[in-house]
A and B are shown apart, each in its own frame.
Chain A
Amino acid sequence: MSQQVIASTATKARKLSAEEIAEIEHEMTLYPDKKAVGLEALKIVQKNQGWVSDESLFGIAEYLDIPVADLEGVATFFNLVYREPVGKNVILFCDSVSCWIMGCESIKGHIKQQLDIDYGQTSEDGDFTLIPVPCLGDCDRAPVMMVGPDMHRNLTPEKIDSIISDYKNKQD
């Protein structure tokens, strides 16, 4: 019972899929102990499920035989591990100093207006989640953001509009 109080409202662990287990087993060959594989396992599950649910968290902890509270401590520390469902495309929006100087605030305002979401929110159609991210290391082409694995640079309101429609079309 105490586990539930610390980390979760889940009542039971989700059984990890064969694909997830295969990937986790591969990671285990690269690190000397199971604890080190915890973060890798969270990423693997997220890749397959889109996010890390309480049930998945329990499932990983059980599989790796590590305390669920420790794993939750790791999951909530790292900003690229999502403990809530996200949209089909995650926008990682850089609002660090170079992008700020180059006007990222007005770009963010435009995204907010177009998708009707602020940081931490998902658009009503479930297509986009907007999250701030530390400096993306592309400062000579600021302002920048990522959508999924892709970089988008020298952003303007017009570019934002075409990026949004491109991703929407890609899914259809």
Chain B
Amino acid sequence: MVTKPLTKNIDMSRPPLDIAGYEANEGYQSLNAIAKGLSPEDVLQLVKDSGLKGRGGAGFPTGLKWSFVPSGDNSPKQKYLVVNADEMEPGTFKDRLLMEGDPHLLLEGMLIAAYTIQASKAYIFLRGEYTVSEQALKKAIKEAYKKGYLGKNILGTDFDLDIIMHTSAGRYICGEETALLNALEGKRANPRAKPPFPQVSGLWGKPTIVNNVETICNLPGILTYGVDWYHGLAKGNDHGTKLFGVSGKVKTPGCWELPLGLPIRELIENYAGGMQDGLELRGFLPGGGSTDFMLPGHLDITLDYDEIAKAGSRLATGTMIILDDKTCPVGMVGNLMKFYAHESCGFCTPCRDGLPWVDQIFRDFENGLGSEKDLQILHDHVTYLGPGRTFCALAPGATAPLGSGLKYFKEDFEKHITEKRCSYKH
């Protein structure tokens, strides 16, 4: 019984498996099923039944997303699959592991996704800094072409697929799927208005699916071992496994593939080894920089999309950032605000002008210049930059740690004002 479908081939002490090694461990079996007559509609139903949710942050059901792509004879002939490999969410380090550790898993997943939506071209949108991933993927793509798993008439079917590596040149906003499409078209990466959604009108106006690396890597397992097996993997209400990471001042920071539905406590205390000696857990961001803080009182909540949402945050990327009691929460939120202010694409006013204002106030707090009025301005921005007020999700993402930070660490903000300094600094 395979229990770790995403990482079963990964051993970072050696190079990733080549195509022969990957195939020897039940790799590319989904292709045989497709060659034997599994239709795109069959695959779509399997993915819907699996309950797979997008692993890039939003947690949208993958099968449902795919079902919006027009199909049939009257639909546009050219469709595109795009893999979002632009991992840049603060504190997120999971897609790197998959691409450096097992590049063929991503390629097999892409074949499945492209076949389902009948895309003959797929782009991997990889962040430029991931040089090791780039080399691993290029080598794997070459092997797959040689084997006839990519190119024309794959395994004698009428299915064609070309995979093209696109290494990007930076900017966090490219992780937003419509900004990513603009970047791929050679434009400034400003997000696009939705609707139309990319599923209908995406890359060069053609139907396009953009999926995260980890989402795609779930597909080979679902086709090879079946939906029942997939449902059996998780401990809670969601399905499958997920990569979870912990960074910050814990004893053994790292990234592990675990069943969805384990208590948060198990991840932080067992896998990450608990807090470093002499430090207490103060709070944590459960899924990257754009999620709301959670507190030690939340440790028994399970790692499920809905359970974490009930606690006011989001599972998102599943990579936790730990705040300890000797690190200033105001400084931590300030660091995130600097990031978002810097990474705003500058297209819409609330984000372009609001975030630098917020950033400046945090710098003032740091230097002992913060006032009650400033605090009120920060609170106002949680609303002004919130969902529905900006063109895309970047600024609302910034309000998650901002709003929850103001709520949970109120005394720390007050102390910066009354003491006119940051008391965490010696």
Which residues from 117 to 132 on chain B have a C-beta closer than 8 Å to any C-beta of chain A? Answer: 127-132
Contacts of A133 in B (CB 8 A): 129, 170
Q: Known interface pairs A140-B245, A140-B247, A140-B255. Does A134 touch B339 (Cβ–Cβ under 8 Å)? A: yes
Known: A35-B186, A77-B189, A142-B247. A100 touches B171 (CB 8 A): no
Kindly state the separation between the CA atoms of A24 and B202 in the bound complex, as whole angstroms: 25
The residue on A at minimum CB distance from B346 is A77
Whether A80 pairs with B249 at a CB distance below 8 angstroms is no
Please indicate the chain A residues that have their CB under 8 angstroms from the CB of B128 in the complex. 43, 80
**Given A78-B171, A92-B129, A135-B89, CB of A100 within 8 Å of CB of B332:** yes
A77→B169 CA distance, assembly (Å): 9
Q: Known interface pairs A74-B188, A102-B248, A139-B245. Does A97 touch B129 (Cβ–Cβ under 8 Å)? A: no
Q: Which of A30, A95, A137 has the most CB of B within 10 A?
A: A137
Give Cα distance in the complex from A39 to B253, angstroms: 36
The proximity string for A residues 28-53 relative to B, scoring 1 for CB distances below 8 Å and 0 otherwise, is 00111101111110110000000000
Tell me if B172 counts as interface (CB < 8 A to partner A).
yes
Of B91-99, B297-305, B379-387, which binds chain A?
B91-99
B339 near A140: Cβ-Cβ < 8 Å: no
Among B95, B321, B324, B339, point to the contact of A137 (Cβ < 8 A): B95
In the complex, the answer to whether A98 meets B248 with C-beta atoms within 8 Å is yes
B91–A97 CB distance below 8 A: yes
Q: Does A138 contact B (CB under 8 A)?
A: yes
Q: Is A149 an interface residue (CB 8 A)?
A: yes
A146 at interface (Cβ–Cβ under 8 A)? yes
Q: In angstroms, how far is the closest chain A Cβ from the Cβ of B314?
A: 16
User: What is the CA–CA distance of A70 and B247 in the complex, to the nearest angstrom?
Assistant: 40
Contacts of B255 in A (CB 8 A): 140
Does residue B194 face the partner (Cβ distance < 8 Å to A)? Answer: no
**Measured between alpha carbons, how far is A40 from B188 in the docked complex, in Å?**
13
B366 CB → nearest A CB, Å: 11
Interface 1/0s, chain B 313-336, versus A by CB < 8 A? 000000101111001000110011
A97 touches B336 (CB 8 A): yes
User: Nearest chain B CB to A66's CB is how many angstroms away?
Assistant: 8
Residues of A within 8 A of B172 (CB): 134
Q: A37-B186, A79-B169, A137-B96 are in contact. Are A98 and B247 (CB under 8 A)?
A: yes
Chain A residues closer than 8 Å to B183, beta-carbon distance: 39, 78
**CB contact under 8 A between A139 and B187, given known A32-B204, A42-B169, A134-B343:** no
Whether a CB of chain B sits under 8 angstroms from the CB of A73 is: yes
Q: Does A115 contact B (CB under 8 A)?
A: no
B376 nearest CB across to chain A (Å): 25
Considering only residues 70-96 of chain B, those with a C-beta below 8 Å from chain A are 87-93, 95-96
Measured in the bound complex, the distance between the Cα atoms of B283 and A97 in whole Å is: 14
Known contacts A96-B339, A98-B321, A140 near B171 by CB under 8 Å: no
Beyond known contacts A35-B187, A139-B321: 13 more, CB 8 A cutoff: A35-B186, A36-B184, A37-B186, A73-B188, A77-B171, A78-B171, A79-B171, A95-B335, A97-B339, A100-B332, A137-B92, A137-B95, A137-B130
